Structure formats: structure tokens, C-alpha cells
Amino acid sequence: MISKFQIITLSIFIICIIAGVAAFALYKGNTQSTSLPSITMWGTFPATTFNQYVSNLNNGLANQVNITYTQKKPDAFSQDFVNALAVGRGPDAVLIPADMILSEENKLVSIPYSAFPERNFIETYIQEAGVYLTKDGIEAIPFTLDPLVMYWNRDTFNAAGIATYPRFWDEFTGDDQQPGLVQKLRVKDQNQNIRKAALAMGDFTNMTNAREILGSLLLQIRNPVTIRANDGIVSALKTGVSYNPLAALQFFTRFIDPSGVNYSWNRGMANDKTAFLGGTLATYFGFASELNEMRAKNPNLNFDVAPLPQIRTGGQKAAYGKMYGFSLVRAGGNPNAAYQIISILTSPQNLANLSKTMYLPPVRIDLIQQGSTDPYVTIFNQAALISKTWLDADPSKSRRVFNMLVESLTSGQKSMNEEIQDTGDEYDAILRQAMQ
């Protein structure tokens, strides 16, 4: 028989659970009536930008949001996170890119769909945010997005009699009968050395964003790079599966063949970003966040920004986007407070202000739909709508794997299918290790 004391205790326990779920599910970010405790947060997001954002936000709040934010280097984040959790000193939340979350997801707690319905999430955020959706809930709430775009030198194009930028990749390539942009924009000296190039592609050595460019090509041919099976295991796609990566790799590597008509780049040239700023490279594939740096480093460079070129037929529109999101830590001391503070940080008005400050597109669909009169923001918003990423173990490790694959393909030591299969197996091992 249950005693009166047991009934009272059980009732109190149930009330606490209901209150916790209600706070987690129904909190709307109204700090006028809710006082929140301080939380700790770690991330690879720049501390100066984040702390200034919180400071600006607090200027309009009756009750201050108190966050102790610690910025970590990407290559040290995972180990520092493990060590801190082992001694009970981990953060309440983390702010990391989507392609770093796979290594950390066993330390994070998903937001249940009972608190944030999946349909609401899909209708709120850009398509790339779908990478956060799992069968158990939402792994992160999107915060910022930095999409890959194309910078192009107007003077170089005009000098070659070309009035506008390329919208499709095949505009770069050509043959002896029908020259493409590579031939039209390329300038060689008397020794046949390239002095001005159309695009930098084919060698990771001097390409700033080689991993992201190659990843974009794969995504455009509908190859998701990695895929999560029903059992939750993430693996790399290889040969013999749908969306064979061969076509993307063949395109990526064709521009470094000195005997080919589309020869445009080699590892002996300057870094692609440096070359673009110096006027010796007609196009540069970089992030939206690089715009202000471009302007500052060469105010006299006559350039513009355009969407990343796409496949003309048979593919899907895609461009890699670096998306940061907030995740709750499983061992965090106050998940309800952390969730409520994240709700404030990601409210529509606050995200709109952040996008203006950072000069980046918003992660919310409704904010993009508001449009912009700024010519650059218009391009960035277009890029945001087609942005994609993939579940990765460690961007630095996948860059190394992609680099080794490209070098092997260009050396011709094995067939392309063999190289792709071997690289896929190595990538799988990295992914499995990350999920342990």
C-alpha cells in the first residue's frame, strides 16, 4: 500500500518533470518575466563577435543574459571537451560548425520533437539545417551561415570581351574549336607559363577552400559525401553506389593537366586568394565572410560577387555553407536555462540584427524572404537557400583525405575507381572513430 508520504513525494516529482518539460518546450524568449541563471558555453565561433553580440542583445533586455563563452581552436576542441567532461567541468552548451558535430554528438542531448516539432523546424530554417535532424530530435539550433560564393574580376572579364560572370561550370571548359573561359581569360608568357588564370582548381596545395569546392561539386551531382544509415552509422559514399563521385573528381582535376586545353592551375602558382587580390586570377571561390577582407586588402580591385557556378543539367543546386549551431551538452548543469538562453540568441529579431552586423545571410527562411536592397546580401541570400554540408568527423581530416585522393588521381598510380574506393574506406575509418 502506498503511504501518504509516498503519494506527496511522487506528486512533487511529477510536477517538477512537467514544469521542466514546459519550460523546455514552451519558453519563447520573453526575459521580461523570466530571470535566468548564467551558463557556460564553448565553441570555435569567434569570441569577439559572440561576446559583442550578447552585449548588444543585453542592451535591450530587462534581465541580462549571462554567458561565459570560451573560444577553442578547432583542432583542440574535441580533446578539451572530453577532458573537461571527465572532471565535471564541461560547458552547458557548445557553438560549433555543423561539420564538426558528428564527433561530439555522443556528448550532446537532442532537443525532442515534442519541444520543437520537426515540421516547425523545417519550415523555419534553411535547407542545410536539415543536417541537424535525427530520429531522436534536433542536434542543434542554427545560428549563422557563411556560404561559398564566387568572386570575379570585372576588369579581367571586360578585357577579354566577356560581359558577365559564368553561371555554369561548363562555361569554363572548351576545346580548340569552341574555347571556354579558361582559354579566353588565360594569359601566357613567351615560355608558355600562365601569367593570368581563369580559375584555381585541381590542387589542394594552393587552394584556400579546396575541400569546400570539391564538396560543392559532389553535392551538385547529388552525392551527399557522407550518409547516415538507419542504424545511425555515418559512412562515406564510394564507387558502385548512386551518385558516383567520378564526374565531380574528373572535373576538379582537369584544370591542372598542362597538356590539356583547359590547363589553368598548378601548385607552383601563388595561393588562389593572393592571386585574385593581385589581379592574376579571374575568379576566386571563397566565403561570403571574405568580402570585407577583399575590399580592405585591395581597395582598387574591381570585382563583384556571384553565386557559385552550378551543373547545367542533371544535378541539383548546391554550394557548401559553413553553418554554426547551438547544441545542449548532455552533462550540462542546467539544460532548461541553456535552452531558454539559446531561444533568445536565435530569436528572429536578434538573428536579423546579427546578420546585418556580420554581413552574412540569415539562417531563417522568413528573414531571407524579407529580401534586401544590398547587392551583395542579395547574392548571399540566394546562396543560403541552396547551401548544404555533410556530417563530417573533422574538416581538417577530410581535407587531408580529399587531398590525398586528388593527388593519387592526378599521379595515375591507380584507376580512378580504385582510388575512390580506397579513399572511401579510409574516410569510413575516420568517421567510425569519431562516433566511438
Tens-digit pLDDT string for the chain (436 aa):
444 433 333 343 333 333 344 444 433 444 344 568 899 999 999 999 999 999 999 998 888 899 999 999 999 999 999 999 999 999 999 999 999 999 999 999 999 999 999 999 999 999 999 999 999 999 999 999 999 999 999 999 999 999 999 999 999 999 888 999 999 999 998 888 899 999 999 999 999 999 999 999 999 999 999 998 887 888 887 766 667 888 999 999 999 999 999 999 999 999 999 999 999 999 999 999 999 999 999 999 999 999 999 999 989 999 999 999 999 999 988 888 999 999 999 999 999 999 999 999 999 999 999 999 999 999 999 999 999 999 998 899 999 999 999 998 888 777 888 888 889 899 999 999 888 7
- Residue 359 CB contacts under 8 Å (≥ 6 apart), including other chains: 288, 289, 291, 292, 376, 377
Domains contained in the chain, number = 2
**Does one domain contain both 310 and 252?**
yes
**Does one domain contain both 58 and 138?**
yes
CATH code (residue 403)? 3.40.190.10
Query: Is 4 part of a structural domain of the chain?
Result: no
- Residue 19 CB contacts under 8 Å (≥ 6 apart), including other chains: none
* Paired strand residues for 329: 108
Query: Is 7 part of a structural domain of the chain?
Result: no
**Does one domain contain both 154 and 139?**
no
pTM of the model: 0.90
**Does one domain contain both 95 and 190?**
no
**Does one domain contain both 281 and 397?**
yes
Domain limits for position 74: 36-146+321-388
**Does one domain contain both 156 and 256?**
yes
Query: Is 12 part of a structural domain of the chain?
Result: no
